[in-house]
Structure 1
Amino acid sequence: MSGNEDLLYIEAMDRIDELVQEVIEFCDKVANDNDYEKDWVLDRFREKFNKANASYDDECDVV
């Protein structure tokens, strides 16, 4: 990778790290606001995300 590509990659990875933290914090808030277990909320999010991601991948495969 060139220096510019390296910088873009580092910036993208930093933003992904921030996004992960935001999602965890949001799931924690949902759990607290609704008296749910945090792990349960994270597990449900993970299930829904994986399902949505698989559907998105399937849609992208259609040409």
Structure 2
Amino acid sequence: MSDESILYKEAMEQIDVLVEDVIQTCLEVADKSDFDRVWVMEKFRSRFNKAKRTKDYNESNWRMRL
């Protein structure tokens, strides 16, 4: 396996962990606040997508930070 393949695999594993952590946090917020879990997940997704479109989080800034 090439170094690039190893780095890609490690990055994807880290992203999978991040996704699971975010989902778990959303579910905990929903349960703690007695909100509907689906509603919380939908609102998170909506806010995440909105944040991606803002000036501070656009793709060109992401590339510069890498």
TM-score of the aligned structures, taking structure 2 as reference length: 0.82
Matched, 1:29 2:28: yes
Q: Which runs of 5+ in 1 are unaligned?
A: none
Matched, 1:43 2:60: no
Matched, 1:57 2:54: no
Q: Which runs of 5+ in 2 are unaligned?
A: 62-66
Partner of 1:36: helix, strand, or coil? coil
Higher relative contact order (CA 8 A, sep 6+): 1
Cα RMSD (Å)? 1.6
Question: In structure 2, what residue type is equivalent to 1:33?
Answer: K
Match of 1:14 in 2: 13
Runs of 4+ in structure 1 off by over 4 angstroms are none
| Aligned length in residues | 59
Q: Deviations over 1:4-54 (max 9, x none)?
A: 010000000000000000000000000000000000000000010000011
Question: In structure 1, what residue type is equivalent to 2:31?
Answer: N
Question: In structure 2, what residue type is equivalent to 1:26?
Answer: T
TM-score of the aligned structures, taking structure 1 as reference length: 0.86
Taking the aligned partners of 2:18 and 2:43, their CA distance within structure 1 comes to 18
